[in-house]
Chain A
Amino acid sequence: MYKILEKTQFSEKVFKFRIEAPEMAKHAHAGQFLMVRANETGERVPFTLAGWNPEEGWVEFIFMVIGKTTEMLSTYEAGDSIKDVTGPLGMPTEMAEGPCAVIGGGVGLAIAFPVAKHLVETGHEVHAIMGARTKDLLLLEDQFRELLDDDHIHITTDDGSYGEKGVVTAPLERLLQDKAVTQVFCVGPVPMMKFSAMTAEKYNTPITASLNPIMVDGTGMCGCCRVEVDGKTKFACVDGPDFDATKVDWNDLRARQAAYRTEEGQSLKAYEEANCACHRYR
């Protein structure tokens, strides 16, 4: 059992858990992930490591409520325990020397933050491009502002409720035009990563994407997380999750991500029916 030390709510649907996991905290690197099984009947779900502290022996992950497991996790409180937490898994993020842009879209900002922090700590100049559908979904703004100067933070919202109206490729294109960055890291929804990749490729700037396929074991045993990169099959859990974004087959990733949409809906519905107040008190 893995104890929840702290629960933070960022918005209606976005939460952060700080979990007691001393061994994982000692070995964690930016870009790696962990796998969670909430309870005995639970599924295994990957979450990127969003923070860790080897001295205090904890790791953090951020999640957005999108289905049964995340909805159930959101009901867990500090002091409760999660049945299984495995990690760190995957390869750490590697970036060469030089100024970089770190792009995070939606809940992907939680993944982008530790990477940005790691890059700052290793002496890189970092521009953060933070994208969200709307203001309420913009994560970790305070943390990013603590890490970077305001002129290195570029915020976009689809609906224009905060920052620049539009998508992340606009500030990215400006940075690339000005030659302000020589490499890019991106994480978020598939269309965002795909268009970021196309933009960076136009300027011949290397771009790495952190991919988020469905996983089962997370240790290279099953191949559920396989992705096509440069025409070759790779396992995101052991070969990635970071890959050259210009070489990723995005259609393939999207199709595989959607493979269980019907079952995910069924599972959420069954959970909500079993747990909604009208059933509970009947």
Chain B
Amino acid sequence: MPQVQVNGRFVPDMKSPRTADNEEPAAERACDFRPVDKGFTKEMALAEAERCMDCKKPLCVEGCPVNINIPKFIEKIREEDFGGALDIIREESMLPAICGRVCPQENQCEGKCVRGKKSEPVAIGQLERFVGDQPELASKPKMAPKNGKKVAVVGSGPSGITCAGELARNGFDVTVFEAFFTGGGVLVYGIPEFRLPKAVVKREIDGLEELGVKFEYNSVVGNITTADELFEKGFDAIYVATGAGLPKFLNVPGENLPNVFFANEYLTRVNLMKANNFPEYDTPTKHGKNVVVFGGGNVAMDAVRTAKRLGAERAIIAYRRTEDEMPARRAELHHAKAEGVEVMPLVSPLEFVAGEDGTVCAVKVQKMELGEPDESGRRRPVPIEGAIEEIPCDVAISAIGTNANPFAKKIGGKMELNKWGYIVADEETGQTTDPRIWAGGDIVTGAATVILAMGAGKKAAASITKAAAEGQI
């Protein structure tokens, strides 16, 4: 650890700066889909690992939703035992290469890091990613003997694959049913290549297959099979992790004009169907010159940065509050702005306007100002009377959130749903009102984060393992 001499004693240098991220220059990276962040080199990782103070009561561990033993894996990095570091992470998380990249660490582990109080927190996410990217160094996971029980996992997003991996390690025979032709859920259709390379997701899925997890793709559970049929086929339990993929409407005129997209479609075309490589790939997309994205979350950032990479001259994030209230990660907002994205705060869409060719040519927005705080404690945006502006755009994208996956209700069983279509499940165990069905991730909580979905998958796996041990399933 870097030390300084204070009053004749050597103490840790609390002001030693955090090792800077290894980023591609903004001007170059904004032209293509290569990863923005190249990750730490070995030297950078070793230098950053030195900054960890190995706290007796590590708050960072509390900040991690799956409680990875952070000081211990960082200690292994200092010892240059990267395989050992990965083994420690894998005791709690099967997907370090993904979480190291997409977790909002500033609100989780790094947000709690003691060093962050005086200067900058340890770059835990970067260190986790550094070891996660070297899976060949890890030991083979310890597998429990087969217990003869079969579990069906519905959905292969972060929650489903975490649950599947844990269950396989615990001796279950696991089959994952996925509606798409490939696994990963939002990790493959939602989060762009420049934030999370698809090769990393594939590597993690391949790893699960090596553990014996089976994947049935193109399987829309609810239509192709139901909970009752899965039980008839010999499955002992089901974990439902179908996510919250149904886009929310803006409910303004012109929303259905051609070239007005929901972010899900815009991102799926590029991320999953590779529309950026059209016509080598068959799926086309629209390369707008002027693109407006409504929303202030990570999905909005992903959409606007994608638009920039597809050649937009002007790419705007239009948000009804101000930058300070944006739910997106600060790093993503910072990246977007560095890439030339324009932020237009305090506007709300009123109407999409059609041009002569019948596609969108402009959007009328209502200007807002911040009023009194609402129930969430954030100041409520209030329209400024008569302040209406028309912004020219040839592509408009709505990224204001999503609702429950509509297939959850078709799965059946005795599982209860709330009035918004989300599954009712025990917070601690993930068990639903049907004792043989568990659920977790966005289909229980509504749209949240990758790591929370993973945490829910882990809890459910533990609960299913316990139920099997106690002979309840």
Contacts and interface: CB of A to CB of B under 8 A. Distances in A.
A97 interface: no
B258 interface: yes
**Interface of B, helix, strand, loop or mixed by DSSP:** loop
Given A238-B406, A259-B258, A260-B284, A88 B279 contact: no
Given A85-B218, A86-B218, A252 B268 contact: no
Q: Which of A32, A41, A233 has the most CB of B within 10 A?
A: A41
B279 A267 contact: yes
B262 interface: yes
Interface of B: 179-181, 189, 217-220, 223-225, 245-247, 249, 255-259, 261-262, 264-265, 268-269, 273-274, 278-284, 358-359, 405-407
A233 B220 contact: no
B282 A68 contact: yes
A192 interface: no
Interface of A: 23-24, 27, 32, 37, 41-44, 68-69, 83-89, 216-217, 219-224, 226-228, 233, 238, 252, 255-256, 258-260, 263-264, 266-267, 270-271
Nearest to B274: A41
B224 A24 contact: yes
A223 B284 contact: no
A110 to B, nearest CB: 21
Contacts of B245: 219-221
Nearest to A237: B406
B180 A226 contact: no
B218 A223 contact: no
A93 to B, nearest CB: 15
Given A86-B220, A255-B358, A220 B281 contact: no
A267 B358 contact: no
Given A42-B282, A89-B223, A259-B359, A223 B247 contact: yes
Nearest to B190: A221
Contacts of B265: 216, 222-224
A112 B169 CA distance: 50
Q: Which of A32, A88, A220 has the most CB of B within 10 A?
A: A220
6 contacts: A43-B283, A86-B220, A219-B406, A222-B268, A255-B359, A267-B284
Contacts of B264: 221-223
Contact of A255 (B224, B257, B273, B406): B257
Given A24-B224, A220-B406, 5 more contacts: A23-B219, A43-B282, A217-B268, A223-B261, A271-B279
B405 A216 contact: no
Contact of A23 (B224, B268, B284): B224
A42 B273 CA distance: 8
Contact of A89 (B220, B257, B273): B220
B271 to A, nearest CB: 12
Q: Which of B189, B261, B262, B282 has the most CB of A within 10 A?
A: B282
Contact of B256 (A27, A32, A252): A252
Nearest to B262: A223
Contacts of B256: 226-228, 233, 252, 256
Contacts of A37: 181
A216 B249 CA distance: 18
A84 B181 contact: yes
Contacts of A41: 274, 280-282
Contacts of A223: 247, 261-262, 264-265
B246 A23 contact: no
Nearest to A72: B282
